[in-house]
Amino acid sequence: MTTVPLDRYPLFESHELDHAREVVGRVFTPHRLDLLGRSTELNAQMNTRRVDRIAANYITYGGDVLIQPGELDSFFVVQVPLSGRGLIQCGGDELLSTADTASVVSPTVPLTQRWSADCAQLILRVERPALEAHLRTMIDAPLAEPIRFELGMDVRSGAGRSWLQVFRLLIAELDREDHSMINRPLMATEYEDWLMTGLLMAQPSNYSGLIDTTSRSPVPHRAVTIVRELIESHPEWRHSVASLAKEARVGVRALQVAFRQHLGTTPRAYLTNVRMQRAHQELLAAQRDMTTVNSIVAKWGLGHPGRFARSYQALFGELPSETLAR
């Protein structure tokens, strides 16, 4: 029997239109799903695996279908046909998506799709708050308007092909039956950062000009390596960007630019993310009657408990108190 991507993470198989609509709608967003033309039944299948800020999916319907979710609102999707074709309409743009041309759908533009009966797609869902935060870090500036990507991504060559190779590597790691490093939080974060940085750099958007004019670092990767090692080894220390730059023997601005070039983030954001991951791990392992959220916040230097709770929920999908209560 031929396996399909993410076969280890089946969500459903169904011949019923209403069932497929309901389950896919729970993973993405409620939508209209109708059979088209001569199609009288479905042979639908969906596999899905969430990492953290992203989720990888495989979907086929086995019938000609119309899909109308409208605006996605809270997430972006990149859809890569493995077979068949999809006619994608986003606002006033239209794209015939095939194995050579992926579709990149922004959350603020109404979406309508028509998939052929033989269409099967890999779909990456990227949470909107995560991608917006990632872009803010890359350009070191607030976002004046929502991110809007061009609809079509050429995945045959150039940056689009490079991005797709990273996405396929993620799928391959998720499909491994042995112990993939993708199951380690730090490695998962690296994959997610790579995919988000790559998407923002590979696919034209209304922020491409700002991204393209970001300075290239004159600092060798050595400085980034030194600072990452120090943060990973001792995230509980009272680091500042100035103290980290001093340890790496570079200037503050040079270190910031180097982090943006090599990691797509800033030293401060990297430190905060490591501390958040350590706090998450400690909350998962802790006994509720032996510790408190506030004590963990203080231990990892994560600031005001209220702000920490909001950031934690955005990153992990639940409040820290809910993690501790498991």
CATH code where residue 315 lies = 1.10.10.60
* Predicted local confidence at residue 217, as pLDDT: 46
Q: In this structure, is residue 5 part of a structural domain?
A: no
In a domain, 48, yes or no: yes
d(CA 189, CA 52): 8
Whether 2 is covered by a domain: the verdict is no
Cβ atoms < 10 Å from Cβ of 98: 16
The pLDDT tens digits for 217-266 are: 444 578 898 999 999 899 989 899 999 999 998 888 888 888 888 888 88
Which pLDDT belongs to residue 2? 67
Residue 140 has pLDDT above 60, yes or no: yes
**What's 8's DSSP letter?**
T
In this structure, the answer to whether residues 74 and 182 fall within a common structural domain is: yes
Confidence of residue 286 (pLDDT cuts 50, 70, 90): confident
Instruction: Please report whether residue 220 resides in a domain.
Output: yes
- Within-domain flag for 24: yes
- The reply to whether 222 and 168 lie within a common domain is no
Q: Assign 99 to helix, strand or coil.
A: coil
Tell me the per-residue pLDDT of 5-63, one tens digit each, with 9 for 90 and over: 999 999 999 999 999 999 999 999 999 999 998 877 899 999 999 998 999 999 999 99
Residue pointed to by tokens 């019923």: 16
Please check whether residues 136 and 285 belong to one and the same domain: no
Give whichever of 119-128, 138-147, 279-288, 296-305 has the largest mean pLDDT. Answer: 119-128
Range of the domain at 155: 10-209
Q: Count the domains in the chain.
A: 2
Tokens standing for residue 178: 């042995």
pLDDT in tens, 66-103: 999 999 999 999 999 999 999 999 989 999 999 999 99
123 belongs to a structural domain: yes
Last residue of a domain, one of 155, 186, 209: 209
Residues 227, 183 share a domain: no
Identify the pLDDT of residue 216: 46
Residues 198 and 248 in one domain: no
Residues 185 and 72 in one domain: yes
Q: Are residues 275 and 192 in the same domain?
A: no
In this structure, is residue 152 part of a structural domain? yes
Does one domain contain both 198 and 242?
no
Q: What is the CATH number of the domain that holds 87?
A: 2.60.120.10
- The answer on 223 and 112 residing in a single domain is no
- Please indicate, yes or no, whether the overall pTM of this predicted structure exceeds 0.75: no
| Adjacent-strand bridge partners of 49 | 56
Q: What type of residue sits at position 14?
A: S
Q: What tens digit of pLDDT does each residue of 116-128 get? A: 999 999 999 999 9
pLDDT tops 60 at residue 181: yes
> Is 3 among the domain residues?
no
